[in-house]
Structure 1
């Protein structure tokens, strides 16, 4: 998708409306040759650097000191160092430290359930944020498993806000877009502390489910299935403002072998642990199509069987949904840099209230083909009428 022709229209509209287009940058990506300097900051205004670790006493520390602070990255030391250098060049850029991830699932319940540990978490988070010049933190508990843990999450957010006041720091939480998990959290109370919820509207189906399904569907095939829209509706109906919701876009697909579509039994999964990066899709010898009713892309056959994912068309539809709902933005799980150069370079970012948007799960997994870039597609749709 070529956005160059849209530059003048985007630039003229920026003063009146602004959408957050955010992305996670996993620190392990520096070992694969991906760096923060490769990203196009004409399309992205917030980067979540993932992940810092948390100790059982609440102490927060860098998970990979070499990658984060010592390795040569973009001419400076470490991935965090690169982002801090880029912040000086791109004044609109916000850098958030994401704390936790999958490895912290056992630690967070211990920390959040103890008042002393909660305060230690808040204090050490503040220390890292101030030492690095960061704009805030993201809680990637992933996720409370019962009502007690849900209450503890809100208590942790309250403790953090004492040390990281809202007039100085951004506080977000990444949560699965599944009502079986969201039901444990008092979102009306959480809204008093959180700037955003990063709603991970993907991984609804995978190797762990009994049947295949669209893993990032915006609309469910039946009332018992999770979906992005049902999770958004749940949050809004439980007192969490739409303008504080970031809808997640996956930059990976899920594979189901010996299945030809959703709702079927399958035998194993292709790819790496059942996953193909978006840049590897559609698979060779297959034809890509879009389920418009449920807003999901797919390809069938080849070495992946039935593969479900997001593409440019579905991201455009999801960005349009965000604008209709008044959501804060989208976040992309994976960021790929060089392919975004040339997009919207003339745009001036206006730092106003950010009131609609998307996030992406891992930027380096996006397509190298400019016409298939998810991040560029989301940006252009969010900022054009």
Structure 2
């Protein structure tokens, strides 16, 4: 590896889901044995089983050292922000750089320590996020801002012993933004040579976003696309349903409410159909549930919908969840009606998703978030690894 500069990038202290209406649904369905057409795997195949680590969880005692390093390959540090001029900014400088975390000063130093203790682990800083993306359109439209951004990202990686950057712009909304998005990725790659740095990006399954992006061009720039295959239903949809199903269920509800057909393989098949190599596409897993207190099952009201980390779900709900093996989805109905209908992944569904990813020669799985997982036999991250190892 080429030695990296240790220079800092800024003389001051600053650096820092939706409805898929009107889509076509071209998902690949499994056969009766839940098997899939197997794509030839690349030689010397390796996969990602990566997790996002949100910096704000240091305040809840969930530090980088609590991550399941025995089952993960990559950690995405979320998030660092941007200004429209391309300079980076902190969302929470105290968490990132000041607070004592795992015996280090700041969560970034704790992450670097975790990596030193686990040399095979790859670390990536994620820029933007759902509440930190509004600056991207102006930034990406400016050549000067793109150059500043790429330069500061490289300096950030070098200073904090990080292996690369993840662009989480949610999301390019039209063709012009799509073109500028590719330009931004290319500028980052110019500053971050592929032999030394990872460059990844996060995108949704919805064609209403993906259609604006030249995915074939992106494939020549990035190491991975992280496909956010969750949040298919929530307070923004007219009725509730499975929020992270691999395949579209079949039935009358889906005829009455087409939004309930949205599924992970919509995005997988669309991206691959645009010339994107399967080995660079990573399937997202939610380590959280969506719940609907006024619902007793799919097709009911989304009023008072909420979100619950997987680790906070009672174990018995996980163990007694209903699993739809065809859709590859799970749910539970809270008999006390406090949470009502709850849709989430369980180890069985994540194992099946990992198996699907392996059989389709995808790049692997990622999880939002690693800190949302349970331990032991109920671990989603461990189940995903077993699924990826199964083929």
Range of TM-score over shorter length: 0.7 to 0.9
Q: Measure how far apart 1:63 and its partner are.
A: 2.3
- The counterpart of 1:260, out of the listed 284, 292, 296, is 296
TM-score (norm 1): 0.84
- The counterpart of 1:244, out of the listed 271, 280, 283, is 280
Q: Measure how far apart 1:156 and its partner are.
A: 0.4
Q: Distance in 1 between matches of 2:219 and 2:233?
A: 29
Q: In the alignment, what sits opposite 1:9? A: none
Instruction: Confirm or deny that 1:379 pairs with 2:356.
Output: no
Change beyond 3 A, Cα 1:284–1:92: closer
Instruction: Confirm or deny that 1:277 pairs with 2:309.
Output: yes
Contact 1:283–1:299 (Cα < 8 Å) also in 2: no
Q: In the alignment, what sits opposite 2:373? A: 366
Q: In the alignment, what sits opposite 1:218? A: 246
- The counterpart of 1:30, out of the listed 58, 67, 76, is 58
Q: Distance in 2 between matches of 1:285 and 1:258?
A: 18
Contact 1:22–1:44 (Cα < 8 Å) also in 2: yes
Q: In the alignment, what sits opposite 1:47? A: 75
Q: Distance in 2 between matches of 1:235 and 1:162?
A: 24
- Number of residue pairs matched by the alignment: 338
Listed as ranges, the gaps of 5+ residues in structure 1 are 1-14, 331-358
Q: Measure how far apart 1:202 and its partner are.
A: 0.2
Q: Distance in 2 between matches of 1:40 and 1:360?
A: 12
TM-score (norm 2): 0.83
Q: Distance in 2 between matches of 1:119 and 1:159?
A: 6
Contact 1:18–1:383 (Cα < 8 Å) also in 2: no
Q: Distance in 1 between matches of 2:364 and 2:341?
A: 29
- Residue 172 of structure 1 aligns to a residue whose secondary structure is strand
Instruction: Confirm or deny that 1:160 pairs with 2:195.
Output: no
Change beyond 3 A, Cα 1:283–1:45: closer
- Deviation sequence 1:305-364 (CA, Å, 0-9, x none): 11111000100110011011100010xxxxxxxxxxxxxxxxxxxxxxxxxxxx000122
Q: Distance in 1 between matches of 2:181 and 2:348?
A: 36
Q: In the alignment, what sits opposite 1:104? A: 132
- Residue 131 of structure 2 aligns to a residue whose secondary structure is helix
Q: Distance in 2 between matches of 1:89 and 1:164?
A: 24
Change beyond 3 A, Cα 1:77–1:214: same
Q: Distance in 2 between matches of 1:276 and 1:179?
A: 27
Instruction: Confirm or deny that 1:293 pairs with 2:326.
Output: yes
Once superposed, which parts of structure 1, at least 4 consecutive aligned residues long, lie more than 4 Å away? 282-287
Q: Measure how far apart 1:104 and its partner are.
A: 2.2
Contact 1:23–1:362 (Cα < 8 Å) also in 2: yes
Q: Measure how far apart 1:102 and its partner are.
A: 1.8
- The counterpart of 1:133, out of the listed 161, 174, 177, is 161
Contact 2:355–2:390 (Cα < 8 Å) also in 1: no
Q: In the alignment, what sits opposite 1:304? A: 339
- Residue 338 of structure 2 aligns to a residue whose secondary structure is helix
Q: Distance in 1 between matches of 2:83 and 2:197?
A: 22
- The counterpart of 1:145, out of the listed 173, 190, 197, is 173
Q: Distance in 1 between matches of 2:151 and 2:181?
A: 16
Change beyond 3 A, Cα 1:266–1:284: farther
Q: Distance in 2 between matches of 1:232 and 1:164?
A: 27
Q: Distance in 2 between matches of 1:283 and 1:310?
A: 13
